[in-house]
Chain A
Amino acid sequence: MKRAGRGLNEHGTLVTPPPHPSLASGGGSRLRLAASFGCLAYVMTCFAISAAEIPQNERRSSYADMARDSKAMQDDDTANPGMLSVLDGEALWKAKAGAVGKACADCHGDARASMKGVSARYPVFEPKLSRPINIEQRINLCRTEQQKASPFAFESKDMLALSAYVSLQSRGQPIAPPDDQRLAPFRETGRTLFNQRQGQLNLSCAQCHDDNWGKRLAANIIPQGHPNGYPLYRLEWQSVGSLQRRLRNCMIGMRAEAYEYGAPEYVAMELYLMWRARGMTVETPAVRP
């Protein structure tokens, strides 16, 4: 099935849906009037979406909206189930892997020093691929090119464990997207995807997370949608999960067709979300309901 109304075409350029044709009824001058109103409404909608970006001082982590028990779970490293995954990741960091027989630690040394602040600035531009990559893709590049090992599957236990361990080293640091001009077009793609209506429900990410955060969707408080705790332990999942899993979840909720794991669209959205959350504190491994 083709994705309706948004996405990248085979040339890698963004496909924008046409303006809504609902006002194109009636004839003659009425039609022209209606059409110009339609255009005006469309322009105003676009303006409203870009103007509704959350002001810097109003941004907040979803931690603030959690119940006391969930906060306590995240705050205590011996009660946070995400730390179990971190322990697995620490073992993987030190384990020799692949044909080269090298561990992550053999090149990068002590992760507590070498990985500090790393996940706070990802995704970064990878010149070899001429596109940005996220932390999971960096781990897999290291595995295939440096260790000559098989890549981890996205969302596999090992991938989540190693990325959680690496990201833990940035806990408490501010999100700091790099000032790299090569990232700019991809970040703009991410912004467009974030603001673009999609799926059978015809919703954009921005409609919930920019325009209606803090209100309720059924019993849940709509979060601002910041990527500051990933990979995180979600009580609903009963496991650790990545930001891409969360994005897929939202897309399935809007009844859009989710992209494959590792798709450039997710990395573009990740870039935009990290920029949107710049300066916020990394909480990995966060706990969320």
Chain B
Amino acid sequence: MRVVIVGNGMVGYKFCEKMAARNTHGQYELTVFGEEARPAYDRVHLSEFFAGKSANDLLLADAGWYASRGIVLHLGDPVQRIDRGSKTVYSHKGLAVPYDYLVLATGSSAFVPPIPGIEKNGVFIYRTIEDLELIGSWAKRTRKGTVIGGGLLGLEAAKALLDLGIRDTSVVEFAPRLMPRQVDEAGAQLLQLKLEALGLSIHTSKSTSAILGDEAVTGLSFADGTVLDTDMIVVSAGIKPRDELAKACGIATGTRGGIVVNDFLQTSDDAVYAIGECALHREMIYGLVAPGYEMAEVVAAQLGGDEKTFTGFDMSTKLKLIGIDVASFGNPFSCEAGTRTIVLNDGINGFYKRVNITADGKHLLGGVLVGDASQYNMLLQTCKNKLVLPPNPEDIILGARGGESAEAGVASLPDDAYICSCESVSKGAICQAIESGEETTEALKKCTKAGTGCGGCLPMVKDLLNHTLKAQGRYIRNVICEHFQYSRQELYDLVKLHELKSYEAVLDKLGTGDGCELCKPSVASLLASLWNEMILQKGNDTAQDSNDRFLANIQKGGTYSVVPRVPGGEITPDKLIIIGQVAKKYHLYTKITGGQRIDLFGAHLSDLPLIWKELIDAGFESGHAYGKALRTVKSCVGSTWCRFGLHDSVSFAIRIEERYRGLRAPHKIKSAVSGCIRECAEAQSKDFGIIATEKGWNLYVCGNGGSKPQHALLLATDLDEATCIRYIDRFLMFYIKTADPLTRMAVWLNKMEGGIDYLRNVVVSDSLGMAAQLEAEMQLLVDSYRCEWKEAVENPEIRKRFNHFVNAPEEKDPSISFDAMREQKRAKEWK
């Protein structure tokens, strides 16, 4: 069967992909004509072109992909004419290719309103990579930019202008609000406020009457008589389906454009199909990628003899506009009588949520989310599948207050609910994959393709995985990886019992196979927690995680950053000068960290020992910023200077930091000491934090900043310093012994049966009778501390490893390069 595809955009590519997958016996001969010089690329993420992505990064597949699947690809060669009588297409370059079936995926072009002056230099559209290149080169001489159109694409274009460094960017919208098709009045208002806070000027209810300027644009005038100065204009006022080819050969098109198709996506000629933005289905043009992909699937299925039709597509969308979540689903506006609306407009936290509900309060009809769209997936599924709402329907946007977890939500979905709308993967398909033995999200992505598009559904896929496994009674044994059939806690006890000191010895005695990137760092970490030996000896160097292996943090481009320890954040002027001198000598970028230290970036691997030699000679030591270890103990200035300070928080922070420095644990540990309840050191956001009281110190544990902030909980009150340290000793050792790999303390506590009360019993009341042992073990680690960088610098065998080339140790990696930025440098953006 000869299939010719006209158009190589995202939907045209998706069709090729679907056809290639079905082309098991070489029964299809596929020929593609594309107008642009490049193979199909990702237009959805076009603005990333200015954020550092290259044209190649945006490609969906390179020319080799088509060739290896036997697809003939003609690029830069648009089809000029279709002869339906002889079933042949004629291309610009003179090719004549016969077809059995023709698929039109010609897409759309930008709609350019007929405004006087629209032809002036400096007026652009925003559609292809070429458009972007033109915009990019013009932007260099531009101070003021304007986007006409405040819809989805217009705001994307505005982001692109900001990325190009045009600080003074305006958006002009004809309608009284932004994104009039997706968002309601109140939501648009919040969106506008947020965009204005980012520096965009927004002008709504503005009808552009003329574009001003001689040859090049200098401004716009509006119907209301006002004028806006600008050096460039990007027009993004909508799309126009590319139906000219169809029209010319007599295929039916709509009065306002678009190739008319039926539910089979056939045009008025049943050997010709149309898919994507050029197709007019039931009076509707779909300007989104997901319905286009669905159309590609429908046509591929039909050509393969399967029954499949297209009956419309949900236009729900979720996107991030310049960092702001915006989502709209179902019917966002609900005008029918009797529908109820719940609105949550949080001016303080900056989000707006609206849901429309049926009169009986049972079903969700649609809604709008601005500022926080984390509930989008669940709401969309609830809406699409007509799930019955909880008795207090406001819970669905307020979040359940006590009880009910989100997991119940996944369970209640029917099997045909689409979990991944990019790839149209249903809940049933995912469950089936799990039942046939897949046990990880990675594996599910690979076999079902769910989550490989925008990735927004991955949390649901994960919930679904856990839920299905649990429902099947499949026991998820908490083992480290395929090489060790033990949990970390079991392994810790066994390694101690057998007194094993190297990764190889542990693998020989307790594991199978050759190890991997999961068990190696876990075992290396617990060896360090148990014996506190130099981590790069006894062959343990190659078992360390990337950063530990070179005692530094690897950064973009393959250079490293260096963080000397600054206990409590206290540092002398002389030491500051040394850091400055070292940074200058080795051309390092310097930045103050969140933990009151100084980070030096951009060090070549071979410079690390030289840098550390100088730092150590000046009295510095490793800050373990690279390790799953104690990082910093932050402090406020405390009673030595502060008029509110109750105790000397700096001295106590230094004492704590020096006690636990180098302590390796299942994950990194951060701490802080505040001198009074004003809490300037933010101790309650740390793994353990200490706050001065009138009578002593309060000890808080298991807080967390990071992606899921959580306040630390009060473990004990009004402690003297010695008792406080004893409790911390016990607490830290208990964590090190029992936590799973890479589990921060907050998560560890959340999973602990009995929670903080149980933990308090263990640490304060010694309910397990382990307190003395825990303290003794900690004392052993404290006594055996040595600065590992000092040992590395002094050991020629270890130093030898700090070269990029084994056969040219004096040479640095020539692929490393930097860009200048604010009188310093930055890593070159990666591809």
A binds B: no
Interface residues of B (CB under 8 A from A): none
Which residues of A are at the interface with B, using a C-beta cutoff of 8 A? none
